[in-house]
Amino acid sequence: MKQALSIIAMILTLSADAAPRTGRPMIIHRLPALGLEVWTEQDPEWETYSKEPSGAPTFVAETPALTYPPAHMSWTTLPQLRFDPRDLETSARGALHQVAANHHVRSPTQVHVTRRQYGDLIGYETIFEARSQNVPIEVRAFCGHRPGKPPVLMQLTTLKHKSAHLAEHTRRSWSNVRYLP
């Protein structure tokens, strides 16, 4: 009995030791055009670039070549918009439904939307399946803000059923998005 208790104690100790997450090196991008600080993976280093489609500044990070699963993340701010806290859900739903429509989802207003928070950003998130160049993909999108700041739209696109493989990458990055002072 005593031996069994010490084995259980050892297992609990190992489990407790495994609980804290080890920090991973991240690259911090200060992006004045977006008014954001965004973190991306350092190992392997994701390829990054900025663009401004339709007047909305966007920062993009993509997995390096030969990385599986391939992934594409983007962060867009809409500085001309401000969400009233009472209208946050309606506004975020509208933005997420537009993301689904951009991916040619048959009934974009039917995508399931849930309340989420990443760091200081409070908003709504959806995950849906679509097709890109005839390849089945999965899209995870979040639209939120910190009260008094412009909304941020974050997206992750990867192969169908592979977003779970990128859960920690997404958590590390999205949980550390900050508005610049």
- What domain range is 156 assigned to? 24-179
| Domain tally, the chain | 1
Domain CATH for 68: 3.40.1000.10
Q: Please say if the pLDDT value at position 155 is more than 70.
A: yes
Please report which confidence band the pLDDT of residue 173 belongs to, taking 50, 70 and 90 as the band edges.
very high
Q: What digits encode the pLDDT tens for the residues 120-131?
A: 999 999 999 999
pLDDT band at 70 (very low <50, low <70, confident <90, very high): very high
Query: How many CB atoms neighbour CB 68 within 10 A?
Result: 10
For residue 2, is it within any domain? no
pTM: predicted TM-score of the whole model, two decimal places: 0.84
Region for residue 68 given its phi and psi (left: phi exceeds 0; alpha: psi -120 to 50; beta: otherwise): beta
Per-residue model confidence (pLDDT) at position 47 = 96
> In this structure, is residue 92 part of a structural domain?
yes
Quick count: other Cβ atoms within 10 Å of Cβ 104? Answer: 10
At residue 83, the pLDDT reads: 77
